[in-house]
Each structure stands twice: as structure tokens, then as C-alpha cells.
């Protein structure tokens, strides 16, 4: 269900650590509201995939900046993504690419290049964006800011269930701890909750419950109480 026609362009920023449920919630919200879903994680994965294919050193800041700047990234309906004209929707969903994305994302010049692309996307239409620095860096003036979190063991369990058999829950938990450490301590745009963001702990909550909580915030802050978004887009 889209927003009322007289509502201005709206930006919803959802930040949080790995495994908190950001992607699932952001996709559903965008679909329900008729907004564009901008998968920032997929953009970093695209750069990571390109670097791996080129056989480049992921810590080579100069080459990583060049790739991030040159990358022609298209976010398409159905959670599809194209890199330089190629559909890489499946190729970026491997543990190797996820790790590469985490490593290139700590490079300041890479972040600046992709933030520029993200802002350009967000200037065109109402959007739901999720990541780790959306409400603090990419869109500090977003209309609605959410910091979505969950207990570490719950985040590990969710990630494990996404790809059962690929690793133990303990291994996934260790990978998440390492990812959290990198995200929270990187020099530029570390993972942190914006002062004006609403904190939501999704531990024990269904995606539907989290989605409804965010919709209530959007209704209160953006539409001045006008009714919308009560029907599933199912």
C-alpha cells in the first residue's frame, strides 16, 4: 500500500549489525509502501565480486577505489542486481563474496564512491535503504531512522538457517563477531546508532512484528497519522 499522494519524497534508513534482519524487513517495507529498495550491502558485494574476479588484493586501496568508482551498479525489482550489465544476483550471495565485501567496505575511498551512488539513487524517489551507516552518513536527514539489532546468538542462528550445512552455528557466530569488530572499528563511517534513530531489538520478534513497528513510526512521522500500509502487498 503506497503512501498518500500528497506525501513528499520519503527516505527510511535502517542500520544495524549482520544478522539483525535488515534486508528482509527493508525489502518487505519497500514493497508494501511502493518505495524503491536500495540494497547497500549488495553494492559492496558487487565491488567485492569484481575484485575477486580480477584477482586483486582486497587491501589495495587504490585499485578498490577505482573499481568502486567505475562500477555500473543497477538495483532491479525482485532483489536483482546488475554489475556492468551482468546479472550477479546469485554470484554475490556466497560466503567468499560476503567476506570480500566486508573487507573492501572498510576502505574510505570505496565507501565515498558508493555513498555517492546511493545518494544519487535516493534523490530520485522515496526509498528504503539498509546498511550500517545510512542514518549516520548516507542520509543523516532521513525521515525515519531505525537501528535494528538482535542478540549475537540469535543473529548467528538466523545466518546459519539461511545456509544450513555450510558451517556450524559456532562458526557462524565467530564470523559475525569478526564482522562486528570490523564494522564498529573501521576508520570511516563505523557501525553506530544515530542519536535520533529508534532502537528495535528483533530478538524473539517475527519479521511481521518488526515491520508493523516501523510502519507505525512512518505513519506518525511522515503522514501525520494518515492511514496507510495496513494491507499486505502479498
**pLDDT digit string (tens) for 199-220?**
999 999 999 999 999 999 998 8
Q: Quick check: 122 pLDDT over 80?
A: yes
- Looking at residue 164, its pLDDT comes to 64
Handedness of CA 171, 105, 79, 149 (dihedral sign): positive
CA distance 183 to 75: 24
The residues spanned by each domain of the chain are 9-35+127-234, 38-124
Nearest residue to 129 (alpha-carbon basis) of 119, 109, 47 = 119
The phi, psi pair for 127, rounded to 5°, reads -140, 155
Q: Answer for the pair 9, 126: CB distance below 8 angstroms, yes or no.
A: yes
Q: Pick left, alpha or beta for residue 109 (phi over 0 → left; psi -120 to 50 → alpha; otherwise beta).
A: alpha
At residue 67's C-alpha, the angle toward residues 66 and 69, to 5°, is 65
Phi, psi torsion values for 200, nearest 5 degrees? -130, 120
Q: Is 55 helix (H, G, I), strand (E, B) or coil?
A: coil
> What pLDDT shows up at residue 90?
95
CATH among 3.40.50.300, 3.40.50.970, 3.40.630.30, 3.40.50.12780 for 9-35+127-234: 3.40.50.300
**CATH superfamily name and code, 38-124:** P-loop containing nucleotide triphosphate hydrolases (3.40.50.300)
pTM of the model: 0.76
Distance CA 117, CA 177 (A): 29
**Counting every residue, how long is the chain?**
234
Using the predicted structure, report yes or no on whether residue 225 has a pLDDT greater than 60. Answer: no
| pLDDT tens-digit map of 138-166 | 999 999 999 999 999 999 988 888 776 66
The DSSP letter of residue 111 is H
pLDDT, residue 2, reads 53
Amino acid at each position: 500500500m503506497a503512501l498518500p499522494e500528497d506525501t513528499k519524497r520519503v527516505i527510511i534508513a535502517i542500520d544495524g549489525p549482520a544478522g539483525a534482519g535488515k534486508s528482509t524487513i527493508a525489502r518487505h517495507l519497500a514493497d508494501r509502501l511502493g518505495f524503491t529498495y536500495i540494497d547497500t550491502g549488495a553494492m559492496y558485494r558487487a565491488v567485492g565480486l569484481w575484485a575477486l574476479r580480477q584477482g586483486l588484493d582486497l587491501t589495495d586501496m587504490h585499485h578498490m577505489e577505482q573499481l568502486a568508482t567505475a562500477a555500473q551498479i543497477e538495483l532491479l525489482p525482485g532483489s536483482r542486481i546488475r554489475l556492468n550489465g551482468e546479472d550477479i544476483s546469485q554470484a554475490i550471495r556466497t560466503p567468499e563474496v560476503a567476506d570480500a565485501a566486508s573487507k573492501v567496505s572498510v576502505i574510505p575511498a570505496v565507501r565515498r564512491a558508493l555513498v555517492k551512488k546511493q545518494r544519487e539513487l535516493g534523490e530520485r524517489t522515496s526509498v528504503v535503504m539498509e546498511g550500517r551507516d545510512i542514518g549516520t552518513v548516507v542520509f543523516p536527514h532521513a525521515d525515519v531512522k531505525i537501528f535494528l539489532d538482535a542478540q549475537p546468538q540469535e543473529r548467528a542462528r538466523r545466518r546459519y538457517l539461511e545456509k544450513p550445512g555450510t558451517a556450524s552455528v559456532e562458526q557462524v557466530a565467530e564470523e559475525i563477531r569478526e564482522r562486528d569488530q570490523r564494522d564498529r572499528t573501521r576508520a570511516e563511517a563505523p557501525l553506530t546508532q544515530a542519536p535520533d534513530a529508534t532502537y528495535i531489538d528483533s530478538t524473539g520478534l517475527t519479521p511481521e512484528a518488526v515491520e508493523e513497528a516501523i510502519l507505525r513510526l512512518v505513519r506518525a512521522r511522515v503522514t501525520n497519522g494518515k492511514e496507510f500500509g495496513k494491507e499486505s502487498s502479498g
